[in-house]
Amino acid sequence: MRGSLALAVWCCCVLIASLLPAQDGAGLYDRTCASCHNGGNDRAPSRDALRSMPADRVLAAMETGPMISMAVRLTTADRRAIAEFVSGKPLGQPLVTTPSAKAMCPAGASSPLTLDGAAWTGWGVDTNNTRFQNTAGIGVDQVSRLKVKWAFAFPGDIQAYSQPTIAGGRVFVGSAGGKVYSLNAQTGCVHWFVEAESGVRSAVTLARVGSASAAFFGDAKANVYGVDATTGKQLWKTKVDAFPVAGITSSPAFYNGRIYIGVRSGEEASGADPQYECCRFRGSVVALDALTGKQVWKTYLVDEPKRTTKNKAGAQLWAPSGVSVWSTPAIDGRRNAVYVTTGNNYTDPATRLSDAFVALDLNSGKILWSRQMTPRDAYTAACRLPDKTNCAESNGPDFDFGSSPILVALPNGKRALIAGQKSGVVYAVDPDNQGELLWQTRVGKGGTMGGVQWGSAADQNNVYVAVSDIGRIMLTYSTATDADPKQGGGMFALRLDNGERVWYTPPEPCGNRARCSPAQSAAVTAIPGVAFSGSVDGHLRAYSSADGKIVWDFDTAQAYETVNGVPGHGGAIDGPGAAIGGGMLFVNSGYPTAGGMPGNVMLAFSVDGK
């Protein structure tokens, strides 16, 4: 099965399934697979061969077997539809995504949520994005005693990619399947759940709005939601961008009655198709009224694209384009500014706001200043394929920012904005002097999924930086990649004032573990005396802030008995990091993108598991 079945459904004709609307298996097959499987390709089994397989076997290959990297962008429903269509047989078990009655909290257990002393809200625990939890309820001497208290599984999902939020004795988390849950932090029972239109990768941000506590989040179809944090009742829903593959990875930042959020797209992947008219997406930052969801302002970070030339396949090309905002905004009340880091362009000519720190006025969205770190970076997925029809002449290097900016006070009394880039360089710029460069320090070699991927954490003295540097291995007949098990990883502490290295801890080797990478792509989380880093190898490790020694190491890639009764298994840790508060640590495990291990659990840790 591991050989031919790896190509049985996707093979060479994979055209990023996330670009397609949900549809039946026949439609998906015709759009993405028929040209190979109906065309006699030696590496793609025929339809007759596929019909001989049980549907459950095909589904397992897509969700836990050799086709994970190629099928990860499909929705749960689409994977199941394809499995049933190509095999011509029904799946053995229906998928139940609604929590069972036993998984729900007892009646009367949902008292009004209070945000007094909220433990962790949004992406970065505070509006500065420090990811530093000063009141963890877990002492440095207790970290080595952390054990799993409970596990919660996301039904039907193969990845867990939303940053948990903690407040009022609850933990809030989104899922790839489009559900957002409010769980009891001590037991994991479900207070409420809501359905979004698409996967929810953003963190849930909590705030007091009017007379109620509200929860805000975004989804993969560029919708932003406001719901009652106590009950889950929807207060409003706003679509912030109508572009077909626009979406939200950025987490909402709340400040003075407004929500600030960035908009990204999947068009970089669309460019892999030579027939695609590349490219017209425009990255932006949006401000919404937190009470009503009405747009206050929207600032595009690239000009309106215009027709340029046609590519060799005859498709119309457009420029400029791109400059997605993957990062979560940081808020500067002193300067009345909101800060973001930005993505690359998709087409030439590259523009000045790509791969940059950008400051915008909180009231109007006017751009106050910008500081670009990598000029001439125009890139699409075509640039790593044999057919480079839609690859810009500048051809990357795809060194955009996924890391959110961290606003810190320096020991010398000045301030800095700090973020690591996929180039492998960490930068500090001066928010009080038009983004003037303060220091830069190289920590990795960089790459398309290299350098610093999802972010760092900072205390009063240091910034703690995990290095991704995933080595990408192209899969035959596919736009997907697996990770090189011998490349990536490493943990640094750098001084805030000058970027000098305080310590470095090398990565742990993978050994013979399947779908393993030592890359440390996930966002870092810190508490006094300890920094936590999750790895694509499935481990969550705690490092001493003083010298970088590993003081705790837990392998999340295992099966769990879950509190909601759904089969659960951990995998790679990527994207979000740990959230800590109230004496507990929460982390998501499972991330098959670029070769990592699939998984579908959120794990709750406490000292001695009590």
Architecture of domain 4-87: Orthogonal Bundle (1.10)
Cα dihedral sign, 457-463-464-465: positive
pLDDT band of 594, cuts 50, 70, 90: confident
Q: Which pLDDT value is given to residue 11?
A: 37
User: What is the arithmetic mean of pLDDT over 80-89?
Assistant: 83
Tell me the backbone φ, ψ of residue 32, rounded to 5 degrees. -120, -15
Percent of the chain scored above 70 by pLDDT?
A: 89
Phi, psi of 80 (to 5 degrees): -70, -40
Residue 275: count of CB within 10 angstroms of its CB: 12
Query: Tell me, what's the pLDDT at 38?
Result: 59
Given a contact cutoff of 8 angstroms between Cβ atoms, the answer to whether 457 and 466 are in contact is no
Pick from 121, 608, 84: nearest CA to 328:
121
First to last CA, the chain: 43
| Residue 530 binned pLDDT confidence (cut-offs 50, 70, 90) | very high
Q: What CA–CA distance (Å, rounded) separates 255 from 241?
A: 21
Report the C-alpha gap between 506 and 564 in whole angstroms.
Answer: 37
Domain(s) labelled CATH 1.10.760 in the chain stretch across 4-87
Say if CB 341 and CB 327 are below 8 A apart.
yes
Alpha-carbon Rg for the chain, nearest whole angstrom, is 23
Reported as a pLDDT band with limits 50, 70 and 90, residue 16 is: very low
Structure tokens at 560: 């769990």
Q: Is the pLDDT of residue 9 over 60?
A: no
Provide the pLDDT confidence category of residue 28 given band limits of 50, 70 and 90.
Answer: confident
Q: What angle do CA 391, 397, 399 make, to 5 degrees?
A: 125
Residue range(s) in the chain whose domain bears CATH number 2.140.10.10: 138-160+402-610
Mean pLDDT of 428-446: 97
DSSP 497: T
On the question of pLDDT at 132 being above 60, the answer is yes
Portions of the chain given CATH number 2.40.128.630: 199-398
Report which DSSP code applies to 304: P
Average pLDDT over residues 162-168: 95
Report the range of poorest mean pLDDT among 30-44, 243-257, 418-432: 30-44
Q: In the CATH hierarchy, which fold is given to the domain comprising 199-398?
A: Lipocalin (2.40.128)
pLDDT, position 49: 57
- Tell me which fold the domain 138-160+402-610 belongs to: Methanol Dehydrogenase; Chain A (2.140.10)
| Among 110, 103, 99, residue whose Cα is nearest residue 188 | 103
Task: Report whether pLDDT(240) > 60.
Answer: yes
- Per-residue pLDDT band for 26 (boundaries 50, 70, 90) equals confident
Between helix 76-87 and helix 25-32 the angle, nearest 10°, is 90
Buried b (16+ CB within 10 A) or exposed e, 37-57: beeebeebbeeeebeebebbb
Cβ 178 vs Cβ 147: under 8 Å: no
Give the C-alpha separation, 457 to 419, whole Å. Answer: 10
Per-residue model confidence (pLDDT) at position 13:
38
How far apart are alpha carbons 411 and 424 in whole angstroms?
Answer: 25
- Per-residue confidence band for 377, with pLDDT thresholds at 50, 70 and 90: very high
> Count of H helices and E strands in the chain?
7, 39
Q: Average pLDDT in the 42-46 region? A: 52
DSSP-derived secondary structure for 73-111: TS-HHHHHHHHHHHHTS--SS----SPPGGGBPPTT--P
Question: Quick check: 5 pLDDT over 70?
Answer: no
Lowest mean pLDDT among 39-48, 83-92, 416-425: 39-48
Least confident window among 44-58, 370-384, 572-586: 44-58
Rounded distance between C-alpha atoms, residue 520 and residue 219, angstroms: 25
- Asked if 431 and 417 count as a contact pair (C-beta separation under 8 A), the reply is yes
Mean pLDDT of the region 40-46: 50
Residue 265: its H or E element: strand 258-265
CA dist., res. 228 & res. 242, Å (int): 25
- Return the SS3 of 264: strand
Average pLDDT value over all residues in the chain: 89
Query: The tokens of 71 are what?
Result: 């099928």
How many Å apart are CA 338 and CA 480, to the nearest integer?
35
Nearest Cα neighbor of 136 from 605, 608, 610, 609 is 605
Residue 64 pLDDT:
65
205-to-123, 187, 399, 422, 583 alpha-carbon distances in Å: 8, 22, 28, 26, 20
Whether the Cβ atoms of residue 554 and residue 587 lie closer than 8 Å to each other: no
Residue 509 has pLDDT above 50, yes or no: yes
Residue pLDDT, tens place only, 322-345: 999 999 999 999 999 999 999 999
Q: Edge-to-edge strand order for the sheet containing 525-527? A: 525-527, 530-534, 539-544, 550-555
pLDDT in tens, 563-575: 999 999 999 999 9
DSSP string, 118-152: -SB-TTTSSTT---B-S--S--TTTGGGEEEEEEE
